Amino acid sequence: MIKYIGIAAIAFATISCGNTTENVALNSASEQVQQEKKYPIHKTDAEWKQLLEAQAYNVLRQAGTERPNTSPLNKQYAAGTLICAACFAPVYENEHKFDSGTGWPSYDRSIEGQVERDVDYKIGYARTELKCNTCGSHLGHEFNDGPRKTTGKRHCINGVALDFVSKGTDLPALRN
């Protein structure tokens, strides 16, 4: 029995290594395409570091993830618009927010044309990454387990990637 477990472990390791190499190659190709795309707002890494607080920089520019249940936006249901915390572009309307129970703010759709979908292989398999279409900042990921009565999509967004602007308040100018 131990012999069979050892053989299974070796087979799994071999398969995993093959997939890891393939995913690293795919991830590198995806990152290269991302670097080649020009967004309307473009800043150097040093400029983003100077503008953003450490946690926001980690999420928005390095595709990090904030801890669940830490964002004040989780309980924010007032009418308003969510803007990208990096460039101030409007990306979500709060009327499309729902409680997904995941610990991150969730929306069933973005403002049309404001959020870009990309492929992310960072954890070893393909996921749909959501990025600001104005500056390319990482917002979160899209999943197919959202409300069936609307889009069926769940945009699982890092709260630190967004700022809330109450309805009736002017949106700030884009950060150039």
Per-residue pLDDT, 176: 86
Q: Are 79 and 167 in contact (CB under 8 A)?
A: yes
Question: Per DSSP, which regions of the chain are E strands?
Answer: 80-84, 90-93, 97-98, 106-107, 115-120, 127-132, 138-143, 154-157, 162-166
pLDDT digits (tens, 9 = 90+) for 103-160: 999 999 999 999 999 998 988 999 999 999 999 999 999 999 999 999 999 999 999 9
pLDDT at 105: 97
User: Is residue 7 over pLDDT 50?
Assistant: no
The pLDDT, as a whole number, for residue 29 is 43
Instruction: For the chain, list the domains and their CATH numbers.
Output: 37-166 (2.170.150.20)
Distance of alpha carbon 55 from alpha carbon 66, whole angstroms: 8
What predicted TM-score, i.e. pTM, was given to this entire model? 0.79
Residue 151's nearest CA partner among 116, 110, 92, 117 is 110
Digit-coded pLDDT (tens) for 72-109: 999 999 999 999 999 999 999 999 999 999 999 999 99
- The CA distance from 81 to 90, in Å, is 7
**Which residues form the catalytic set?**
156
Round to whole Å and give the CA distance between 108 and 117: 14
